[in-house]
Amino acid sequence: MKKVEKNISLGELRQMAENMFGNLVKAVVDVEKGTMAVDAELHADEEAFLLEKGSQQKNLWGINLYPEFFGQDDFVEFDSMVNLRPSQENRSRGVENPEIRKKIREIIANLVTK
The per-residue pLDDT for range 37-91, each reduced to its tens digit, is 999 999 999 999 999 999 999 999 999 999 999 999 999 999 999 999 999 999 9
| Distance (Å, whole) CA 22 – CA 78 | 18
DSSP 56-114: -GGGEEEEEE-GGGTTSGGGEE---GGG-BGGGTB-SSS---HHHHHHHHHHHHHHEE-
- The pLDDT of residue 36 is 98
DSSP 36-53: EEES-S-HHHHHHHHHHT
The per-residue pLDDT for range 78-102, each reduced to its tens digit, is 999 999 999 999 999 999 999 999 9
pLDDT band at 6; cut points 50, 70, 90 = very high
- The pLDDT of residue 51 is 98
Which residues, including other chains, have CB under 8 Å from residue 108's CB and lie 6 or more apart? Answer: 29, 36, 63, 65, 75, 76
